[in-house]
Amino acid sequence: MAAKTIQGIRFNIYSNDHDPPHVDAEVDGMKMKMFFGSETEPPEIGPMNPRIKRNDANRAFRIFLDNEETLKALYEKVHGKAGK
């Protein structure tokens, strides 16, 4: 597992996790998935705990987008190339 905390959001990458390439973000102790973009698909929010407030999820996703290259590099250290 690899993890990085950015602006209070913890982004986790698990070595035994499934495709498609993504990070698990912890927002107030609750998890949501964020999928990396590709040449043909934009980054997107995946399943999340319904108790996460929408504005908190949107803030976490903006942080993910602003740091996507850094997080993708971390993903690639754990899994190899992060392509959809």
Show the DSSP H helices in the chain as ranges: 54-66, 68-79
Q: pTM for the whole thing? A: 0.91
61: helix, strand or coil: helix
Spatial contact of 13 and 74, defined as CB atoms under 8 Å apart:
yes
For 80, the token pair is 């190899």
Q: Which of 73, 78, 70 is nearest to 7 (CA)?
A: 70
pLDDT in tens, 15-69: 999 889 999 999 999 999 999 998 999 999 998 899 999 999 999 999 999 999 9
31: helix, strand or coil: strand
Distance CA 74, CA 83 (A): 13
